[in-house]
Structure 1
Amino acid sequence: MLIDSRLLRKSLPSDSLSIAANDWPARSGQTIPSLDGLRAGSVMLVLLGHLILPSSMIGISALGLDVFFLVSGFLITRLFFAEARESGHLNLRAFYLRRIVRLYPVLFVYLAIVLTVQTARGGDINTFEVSSVLFYFWNYLTAHQEIVGDSSILPIGVLWSLSVEEHFYLFAPLAFICLRGSPLAMLRATLAVCAATLLLRYLYCFIWPGIEKTLWIYRHSETRADSIAYGAMLACLVQINPYHHIVKFLAGRTAFVIGTMVLLSSYAIRDPYFQNTLRFTIQGLALIPMLCGVVFGQPFPFLNSLLNQFIVRWIGQISYSVYVWHGGIIFLFSWWLFQLPNFLNLFLQLALTFVLAACSYYVVERPALKLRKLVRTSPSSGKTATAAPELCDLTSPKSIAG
């Protein structure tokens, strides 16, 4: 049966909004559609690159991490604005406590099990490596190990990205405090971070020829900060009412298609120098309209619908546990996994990843999330950033005048 293309275009609006423009500014308790779906997509890309595809295609997992970084920057910055809107300040102590309760329980359980298995097998334990994971400098240590020819003893390789995110969590609220919660000032700061990070990558390549052939730039926080800052940039844009026309364009089909084409094209250039310098910038910019589209618009309604399906949202909810545990599956079960045919081996790796992640989520992560809700923000506790009176209305044109 033939379908009139005009009817099809009417049934699939390219510029309709999933969230009304008046609801774009951050508010406490606000549900943001498609974010869990994006997390699910990112972690599935990571699993695809690490467990399924051949090692020559492991780069697909890097795209999953880029989405993770982008979503983290967007969500955390948005939470800053929501708290400032509701209470007029940002409670620094409460923020850090929430991050600790959110991240450490799963990490502690994972490391405890890995260390127990390693001890039972009579293997060595590098306490410095364990400390680097717990105190979030593993990304620097593993990059250094590659340079000197060492390798980690424990299955903690994938945890380097947690260090990059934690460094963002450490400095972002301080920047918000210093800038008094101004969306425009925060926007300028994110632009400065993105520019400085790109220049720093070029500087590293200039002063250290050959570094682009290592994972040094890929894993260092100061050279990957823009991957998170682009998400923070979008969170700032939606707070400023006069800039909403930019967000509307970014949420449309045209911007989504352009972003997708630019992103795919960036993989066609295989030069290591490009991959470790300009490609991070190009991919970060290309991902912004893709994030903006599925969160604030409906460039392709079927995609929005897919990202909000129950099973997809569930994978997104357990994505942190999936990411942590998938790196240890082979270590924990190598004694019988390698005795199986390849296809069955891969299937069981995926199945075991989700079984352990689900157990981790329901037994460890969810109870910890309930505990996190007890960490309330109160004006009388902890260091706070008091927003200027005119910044309490974060959508007001007056808020960008100063």
Structure 2
Amino acid sequence: MRIYFKNLDAIRFIAAFLVVLHHAQFFKEENGVNTWKFLDPALAEAGRMGVNLFFVLSGFLISYLLLKERQDTGQLNLRNFYIRRILRIWPLYLAFGIGMVLLAPTVLHILNVAPDYSMATIATNLIFLLLFAVNIQLAFFPYNKGIVEISWSVCIEEQFYLIWPLLIIAFRNRLKTLFILMLGIGFLSKTLCIVLPYFFPSLSTPSLFGINYLLLFDKFELFGTGMFAAYILFHKETYGKLLEVLMNKRIQVAMLLLTFLFVFSVIRIPVLSDNYYDHFIHAVLFGYLMLMAVAPNSILRLEQPLFKTLGKVSYGIYLFHTPVCQLALIAFMKFFGRSPNILLYEVLYPLTCLVLTCAIAYVSYELFEKHFLKIKSRFTVVQTRM
């Protein structure tokens, strides 16, 4: 059985593209070469939006495939599930991460943009990387800034994949209950950041929110909403009328516009976004986007060869983009100086970051990742190109 969800390749690329835009702007601002400062607020949250979109999409796709596998075979093969995830995530994660941990400190020192790193710090980075716990390292332990911190969200996804099929099995006939529980856990994790300092004055609410943001519990509402969107789609015979109403083209246009306004911070609710409660808004918008993307009457027309190819290599785009952006900026500053220049730094620099990152990700996919994906297909019950 093969399943292909239209438009999701492009949406996966768009999520990666948002993160690239965010970091390209961030690195410029950090180095004082930012000309179009009006882009700062527009792109300030774009990276977080892209990551949250990844999480909702993962919850949607993985949940649908698990539901389909259980329907077709009567059970979930946990061994095959974990093998599939390992073959998809681990090879590039480990190759990129180990390479960066071992080589990046030397390269950055040669370029005179970072001090020497001690062997103890490098060893610590390597241990957390191998444990898929970079997010926990960022939250509680020292780390090499700019080395492998981008992999924190990959670690959260792996932690989610570890428990998700078990939860699907445990709540097999009560997935709506599981959805409510996940919303509750996501809300509780954020609320505790406000409540705990009242009982423990040494704790700081902003620091607690910073820590919580890096942990899996903070993302439960995103993964859970992705699952719930998959649940509705999977049971479209039951929810056909609801889907028909939701997929009215006027509603699609309105929701797409609303999503755009939130993604680029045109609409921003500080009391929610500063404390990450706006994840619930993102969850609704992106969960709807999943359903809209695959709807027969979807207004999205993203099934273009270029978008599909870029979506296919989006994992590499996400991992490779930070070193590419940093090295590209170093080169630009060396050859053109730090003086703000609209053409150089607002057009050519981000374009260079995007093109180089996509090219490296494509080569990585064709020469490296694809070999593991061929093996992965042997353990796949429900085939998908995603």
TM-score with structure 2 setting the length: 0.80
Higher mean C-alpha deviation, range 262-271 or range 240-249: 262-271
Q: Name the amino acid aligned to 1:204.
A: C
Higher mean C-alpha deviation, range 192-201 or range 127-136: 127-136
Query: Matched residue of 1:338: which SS?
Result: helix
| Equivalent pairs, count | 339
C-alpha distance in structure 2 between counterparts of 1:276 and 1:119, whole Å: 33
Q: Name the amino acid aligned to 2:7.
A: S
8 Å CA contact 2:102–2:122 kept in 1: the answer is no
User: In the alignment, which of 327, 336, 358 is matched to residue 331 of structure 2?
Assistant: 336
Instruction: Encode CA deviations 1:357-394: one digit per residue, 9 max, x unaligned.
Output: 111111111111001112256xxxxxxxxxxxxxxxxx
Instruction: Encode CA deviations 1:227-258: one digit per residue, 9 max, x unaligned.
Output: 11111111111222322222233333243344
User: In the alignment, which of 117, 126, 142 is matched to residue 122 of structure 2?
Assistant: 126
C-alpha distance in structure 2 between counterparts of 1:119 and 1:215, whole Å: 25
Q: Tell me the CA shift for residue 47 of structure 1.
A: 1.0
Q: State yes or no: 1:205 paired with 2:194.
A: yes
Change (3 A) 1:259 1:210: farther
Change (3 A) 1:369 1:354: same
Instruction: Encode CA deviations 1:299-338: one digit per residue, 9 max, x unaligned.
Output: 42xxx22x11010111100000100111222555676343
Q: Tell me the CA shift for residue 119 of structure 1.
A: 6.4
8 Å CA contact 1:251–1:289 kept in 2: the answer is no
Q: Name the amino acid aligned to 2:191.
A: Y
Higher mean C-alpha deviation, range 30-39 or range 210-219: 210-219
C-alpha distance in structure 1 between counterparts of 2:206 and 2:244, whole Å: 37
Q: Tell me the CA shift for residue 67 of structure 1.
A: 1.2
User: Could you say which residue in structure 2 is the equivalent of 1:390?
Assistant: none
User: Could you say which residue in structure 2 is the equivalent of 1:192?
Assistant: 181
Q: Name the amino acid aligned to 2:154.
A: L
Higher mean C-alpha deviation, range 82-91 or range 203-212: 203-212
User: Could you say which residue in structure 2 is the equivalent of 1:296?
Assistant: 295
Change (3 A) 1:280 1:118: closer
User: In the alignment, which of 361, 366, 373 is matched to residue 369 of structure 1?
Assistant: 373
Q: Name the amino acid aligned to 1:43.
A: A
C-alpha distance in structure 2 between counterparts of 1:259 and 1:215, whole Å: 29
User: Could you say which residue in structure 2 is the equivalent of 1:5?
Assistant: none
Change (3 A) 1:29 1:87: same
User: In the alignment, which of 137, 140, 163 is matched to residue 141 of structure 1?
Assistant: 137
Using the aligned pairs only, state the percent identity: 21
Mapping for residues 273-284 of structure 1, pairs under 5 Å: 274-284=273-283
8 Å CA contact 2:233–2:291 kept in 1: the answer is no
Structure 1, unpaired ranges of 5+: 1-27, 378-402
8 Å CA contact 1:117–1:332 kept in 2: the answer is no
User: In the alignment, which of 183, 208, 212 is matched to residue 217 of structure 1?
Assistant: 212
Query: Matched residue of 2:297: which SS?
Result: coil
TM-score with structure 1 setting the length: 0.77
Structure 2, unpaired ranges of 5+: 30-39, 110-115, 198-202, 337-343, 382-386
Higher mean C-alpha deviation, range 358-367 or range 314-323: 358-367
8 Å CA contact 1:197–1:226 kept in 2: the answer is yes
Mapping for residues 50-61 of structure 1, pairs under 5 Å: 50-52=23-25, 55=29, 56=40, 57-61=43-47
C-alpha distance in structure 2 between counterparts of 1:313 and 1:244, whole Å: 28
CA RMSD, aligned part only?
2.5
User: Could you say which residue in structure 2 is the equivalent of 1:14?
Assistant: none
Q: State yes or no: 1:155 paired with 2:147.
A: yes
Q: Tell me the CA shift for residue 153 of structure 1.
A: 4.4
Q: Tell me the CA shift for residue 34 of structure 1.
A: 0.7
